[in-house]
Amino acid sequence: MYKSRRALDAFRHDALDTVDSTNVVALQRGRAGDPGNLWITARQQTGGKGRRGRPWVSEPGNLYASLLLIDPAPMERISSLPLAVALAVHRAVRCVLPVSAPPVEVKWPNDVLIGRAKTCGILLEAEVMPSGRHALVIGVGINIAHKPEQASYATTSLADHGATASPEDVFAHLFAAMADTLLLWNRGEGVGEITQRWRELACGIGEKIIVNLPDRSITGTFSGIDEHGMLLLDRGSQGIAPIAAGDVFFEPDGRKKYD
């Protein structure tokens, strides 16, 4: 049950047909002076991308959506936003799946998995506008009817698990869930509640993981996240290593690396 009509009314939506990237369009709107709280959706993308510039398959039938926020929070509080975004996407996905579907979990920091297979990519991009204000775009791609077949990590789609929702149906749930979750996040002041809820949905706490950093890979036990959303890696005698960014995958399926 979505809570706040006021939260929903704060957001706008522009539905497009084919675009290079919904993130690109959202940033263009920000540069042109849009005040933010604007969703851009598209039927398909010709230049979608994931983290680290990886291509994102963008066939019609899936959801491609980006939310433009302007000055969403003081910069020192932004690090917890990916956790809030993951909660909103998790809620939207859970709403359209049958009760018989495998567990829906979040993988640090903001992937959404069904039965340990990735069904959603989330990409946050930021830019300083000509006005000096900060634009932040939350890009969300959800595998509804299609999934990548040649990925180096396990993937799935909502259709694989009996969901019959259209991209428009899934977006309606995402629109409402994101409004509620950002209200709870409250420009970063609600980080305590966000991290608590994230931990309840997290995949792999207490499990052995491998974290790929830009210059090396390290292993340890996933001990959870701190109050800022950093991953806590228990390395035994070497202590707890806080990690701000990295690619995480679980042993013994280390070869099935998630994006």
The single residue listed with the structure tokens 């995949």 is 203
pLDDT above 70: residue 97: yes
- The CATH number of whichever domain residue 159 belongs to comes to 3.30.930.10
Is 140 found in the same domain as 56? Answer: yes
Which SS3 state, helix, strand or coil, does residue 214 take? coil
* pLDDT score at 228: 84
How many structural domains is the chain composed of?
Answer: 2
Is 73 found in the same domain as 181? Answer: yes
pLDDT above 80: residue 2: no
Enclosing domain of residue 232: 208-250
- The CATH number of whichever domain residue 225 belongs to comes to 2.30.30.100
Domain assignment present for residue 255? The answer is no
Domain assignment present for residue 168? The answer is yes
- Read out DSSP for 6-66? HHHHT-EEEEEEEES-HHHHHHHHHHTT--S-EEEEEEEESS-B-GGG-B----BTBEEEE
* pLDDT score at 84: 96
Decide which of 158 and 110 is more confident.
158
* pLDDT score at 118: 93
Is 92 found in the same domain as 15? Answer: yes
Mean pLDDT to the nearest integer, 111-138: 94
Domain assignment present for residue 35? The answer is yes
Is 151 found in the same domain as 240? Answer: no
Is 193 found in the same domain as 213? Answer: no
Is 68 found in the same domain as 26? Answer: yes
Domain assignment present for residue 256? The answer is no
CB atoms within 10 A of CB 257: 16
Is 237 found in the same domain as 195? Answer: no
Domain assignment present for residue 231? The answer is yes
pLDDT-derived band of residue 54, with 50, 70 and 90 as boundaries? low
* pLDDT score at 255: 38
Domain assignment present for residue 259? The answer is no
Which candidate, 103, 119, 120, places its Cα nearest to that of 200? 103
Is 196 found in the same domain as 238? Answer: no
Domain assignment present for residue 69? The answer is yes
pLDDT-derived band of residue 130, with 50, 70 and 90 as boundaries? confident
Decide which of 240 and 110 is more confident.
240
Which candidate, 229, 243, 202, places its Cα nearest to that of 106? 202
Please, are residues 2 and 175 in contact by the beta-carbon 8 Å criterion?
no
- Read out DSSP for 152-165? SS-B--SGGGT---
